[in-house]
Amino acid sequence: MLLVVVAFSKWGFYKLGKANEKPAFSNIAWISMLYSAGMGAGILLRAVQEPVFMQQNPPIQNNASAEIKALEFTFYQWGVTAWAFYTLFALAIGTVAFKYGRPLITSSTVFDTKKYSSKNRFKYLGIALTDLLTILTTVFGLVAAVALGASQIKGGLDHLLGLTLNANYSIALILFIGFLALLSALSGVEKGIKIISTANIYLTLALLIFVFLQTDMLLILKQYAHALYRYLIDFIPMSLALGAFDPGKKFLTDWTYYYWAFWLAWAPFTGLFIARISRGRTIREIILGVLLIPSLGSFFWFTVFGQSAFEMINAAGEYKGEFDNVFTSLFIFLSHYPAQSIVNTIVVILLVSFLVTSLDSAILVLSMFTSKNTDTPSKKHRIVWSTLLTICAIGIVLLSFAKKEEDVLSAVQKLLIITSLPLSFFMIVMSFKWIQNLNKKEC
């Protein structure tokens, strides 16, 4: 609500940057980079598994069909809530960086970091703790995402090859992804990150159109519109878990709270990255663009894949759990379509490239926190962060293989909820400071 009010207020006309400054990137490049950094491999990981799970286990009670309920709640999990977190951080950081010339780091949103030194112990401690909290949540979020993404790639290869690959293959995948992410981060936003992100969007659109053209397109559009309508009118009670919209503590912990924690963990680095690529755009343009375009695109993606999976289940007469495994569900789903070798190759490439773009943007942002030059961090810092993130992801994957009975990846997800909690309180303070910074004088 705060973002919508700001977008249509006088502040909506303010630019991140000088008044006559043009956007640093074209619309397609801008959307591609923010989407690749903000969502990444998750839309592939959950494309089929999540809508089907929601259909088989309806989390909310309303007068809609099971299919609409499933799509509606999937929209809720992947919709404007995530992008609101990202947008708030992007604008809070972008405002102080481009308006007051503060460093592109999280603590700048609350403290005037140019004025404080180690002699101001209390405020200096606040700056250090704020940035440390951002670094820790970013590391946890990225490591969990890379480990999950590598597990999906391995699960897909297991399914396609009819084998059970050992941990060495997962390690090799993570090393390969880490190496590509480092090369991309070293080349900078204008080259590596921009090129890979744009390629991701084109490949994703190709896969989406491939499935969409082989479905009942009118039914897909009808379900999309219906689920979107339900999402809009039910958004507040779903957010507050009121009455019939309360899915229970276990469901909230496994799904909603986990997603909120994940979006919060990604919000500082994704928000900073969005601020970095949004210079020259108005606050209104950023708010509406970031909240609406990726959300509506994700909704259509989940409708196409989810509704198509529903039709497969209906045609089979019963559901036998073929889409339950989050790592193989998409590959099993696509086995019902032609051109398997081409389609599976595209999916694997997309999984790798989405992880690369999430990781390279995180490397760049984490380097900003630890480098003296926050605008263009040193290559040394980028190499160090790339190495640390890769090693941590490998460690989690190895632990999951060694402790299969413990479900290490799920434990990491729950740990993410705990580490993201302090960040949620910080966002409240940051929001107040952002409004104060906007109101001090015109941008």
The pTM (predicted TM-score) of the whole model is 0.89
- In this predicted structure, the answer to whether residue 206 has a pLDDT above a threshold of 90 is yes
What is the pLDDT averaged over residues 269-277? 86
The pLDDT of residue 120 is above 60: no
CA distance 296 to 309: 20
Q: Kindly report the average pLDDT of the chain as a whole number.
A: 85
Q: What is the reported pLDDT for 90?
A: 92
pLDDT for the residue 40 = 72
Q: What is the mean pLDDT of residues 410-434?
A: 80
- pLDDT average, residue stretch 396-422: 70
Q: Write down all domains in the chain, each with its CATH number in brackets.
A: 28-104+120-430 (1.20.1740)
For the cut 90, the answer to whether the pLDDT of residue 299 exceeds it is yes
pLDDT value at position 372?
A: 64
Q: What is the pLDDT of residue 286?
A: 94
Q: pLDDT (tens digit, 9 = 90+) per residue, 14-54?
A: 888 887 888 888 888 888 888 877 777 788 889 999 999 99
CB 311 within 8 A of CB 34: no
Res. 189 pLDDT band, cuts 50 70 90: low
| Lowest model confidence (mean pLDDT) among 66-70, 206-210, 362-366, 416-420 | 416-420
pLDDT at 85 over 80: yes
Q: What pLDDT digit, counting tens, does each position of 378-387 carry?
A: 888 889 999 9
Nearest alpha carbon to residue 93 among 441, 439, 431: 431
**Is pLDDT of 414 > 70?**
no
Cβ within 8 Å of residue 369, ≥6 positions away? 105, 106, 131, 134, 135
What is the predicted pLDDT for the residue at 113?
Answer: 61
Reply yes or no on whether the pLDDT at 116 is more than 60: no
pLDDT 10s digits, 320-377? 888 998 888 999 999 999 988 889 888 988 888 888 888 887 888 888 877 766 667 7
- Kindly indicate the confidence band of residue 404, based on its pLDDT and cuts at 50, 70 and 90: low
Q: Is it the case that residue 443 has pLDDT exceeding 50?
A: no
Joined together, the tokens standing for residue 423 give 């960040």
Integer Cα distance of 72 and 234 in angstroms = 9
Task: Give dist(CA 55, CA 53) in Å, integer.
Answer: 5
